[in-house]
Structure formats: C-alpha cells, structure tokens
Amino acid sequence: MSKRPKLIATDLDGTIVQYDGTISERTIKAFSKAHAMGIHIYFVTGRPPRWMDEIRDAFGFGGAICGNGAMLYDLKTRTVTEEWMISSQMQAEVAQRLRIAIPSISFAIESHDYYHREKTYVPRWDIGLDNVGVERIEDAIRGPAFKMLARCSGSELTSDQMLEIAFPELDGLVTVTHSNANESLLEISALGISKGQTLAKVAARLNIDSSDCISFGDNPNDFSMLQWCGRSYAMADGHPDGFKYSSGIAGPHQDDGVAIVIEELLKLPA
C-alpha cells in the first residue's frame, strides 16, 4: 500500500501516552498534521470517559472509542453518543463463573461515571472512587455496565494466565481481554464488543474501507483493531504477541514510535 490512510486509530496508554502520563510534542504535532490533511483521527482506548479530558486538552480534535469498544464518546461535548453494555444478569453470571475458575479473583464494575468494587479488589488507578466496597459485586449491580474488571490482587496469576483460564469459561457470553501483561487484571465487555468491532462500525459510517485505515496498539485489547485495519503497527515494547496481529512494528512508545510512522505515512500520495 503506497497511499496515505483516510483514518488513523490509536490506543493511548503504552502507545502514545508515555509512562509518566504525558504525550510528547512530536506525537501531538504528527497527529495534528494528519488531522489538518483531512485524515480522520480516533483515540481507541480501554479508558472510561472520565479519563479522557487530558486527551481532549492535548489534541482538541478527533473522535473517541472508550471502554474497549463499548462506547462512542464525543470529546468536545463530553457525552457518550452510543454504547453497548453488559446486562445486570450477565454481570452476575460472569462473577459466578470466574469465582469457580479462579477462586482468588475479585471484581469491579464501571458504568458511565460510577465505579464500584469488592472490598478484596485493590484498585491501582481508580483509588478514591469507592473507598468502602462491597462483599460481593452482585450487591453493587444497579443496571448495565460497560466494563467489568476482574483482578487477582495477590498477583499470583499474570493477566495472560488469567485470560487463558477465563476465555473458555466465558466464551459465547462476553468478550474478555486485558491491557497490561504485567498486571493481574482482566477487562470484560459485552459479547462481540471490541476495539476492532467498533472501529469497523465507525469506518463503515464514514464510507472508509479497512484498507484505508491504520491503527496502533500494544496489548491484547488492541489486537482486534490491529487485525482489522489494512495497515497496523504493534508497539515494539508492547505485548510479545502483537506482531501476530499487525502488519508492522512501531518503535517503543517512549521513543515516539507512533509519530515516526505517521510522519512517513503523511509523505505518501492521497
């Protein structure tokens, strides 16, 4: 393929957001130039909407897909425009099945701006949102959720190991993935919901074919997006299986790997 993409989709953390939470000027400049050239930009993340203000402030343009594909989010108006949720009944079913498969597991649930966790679930990022917790996550379910989080807080299992156990238990019920191989954490969405599925829906509405889309990502929750796009780049410092789903490798995110690729892509003819 020797032409510029019509749509660029990128993961955030570990892809364009650095370890200290910042985004480099080179990365902002590369995306800004692409946007000015008429290329559609989508920030595709596992983050909830409440974590997107810094992205809006850094770029000031682009669309957002949050919750690993569960939500379309308008950065400018700070509103969810479309969503695909896990039902209350399915949340309870997931908890029941995973407790049997992984006895040390604990849960949290997210829906829009609320977050609840079990007392045994030790949060890393949402510290302070639920300082009390419940004995069982079923006691906190009030309606559909866009994501369930399942953690082994004692870290006796890695995220990859948890995923290997959970996948057959939840196959056909929900989508299960993870975004950090160094954690002990699973991320669960409604059945069929993924970054790739929602990106494909967005592109179709824009009349853009997968061959005209490019994506960047670093972890298993990005693999569906990397696989769907005609051109895609796994991060060199990301999950070791990334290359299986991408057509190329971008340099480490700390070294502006995504920006370097985009700079070259923008030199191609439309």
Amino acid identity, residue 210?
Answer: S
Is the residue at 30 inside a domain?
yes
Determine the structural domain holding residue 210 and report its residue range: 7-83+194-265
Q: What angle do CA 24, 27, 31 make, to 5 degrees?
A: 145
Is the residue at 238 inside a domain?
yes
Distance of CA 104 to the CA centre of its chain: 25
Q: List, in sequence order, every residue forming a beta bridge with 79; answer none if it has no partner.
A: 74
Whole-prediction pTM value?
0.95
Asked if 110 and 122 sit in the same domain, the reply is: yes
Domain final residue, candidates 190, 214, 230? 190
- Number of structural domains in the chain: 2
pLDDT tens digits for the chain (270 residues)?
A: 589 999 999 999 999 999 999 999 999 999 999 999 999 999 999 999 989 999 999 999 999 999 999 999 999 999 999 999 999 999 999 999 999 999 999 999 998 767 899 999 988 776 666 778 999 999 999 899 999 999 998 767 999 999 999 999 999 999 999 999 888 999 999 999 999 999 999 999 999 999 999 999 999 999 999 999 999 999 999 999 999 999 999 999 999 999 999 999 999 999
Is the residue at 1 inside a domain?
no
Integer Cα distance of 211 and 61 in angstroms:
23
CATH number at residue 226: 3.40.50.1000
Amino acid identity, residue 108?
Answer: A
Domain final residue, candidates 142, 157, 190? 190
- Among 34, 69, 81, 74, CA closest to 55: 74
Those residues with Cβ within 8 angstroms of residue 232's Cβ, 6 or more apart along the chain or in another chain: 214, 215, 216, 217, 225, 226, 245, 246, 247, 248
Domain final residue, candidates 128, 157, 190? 190
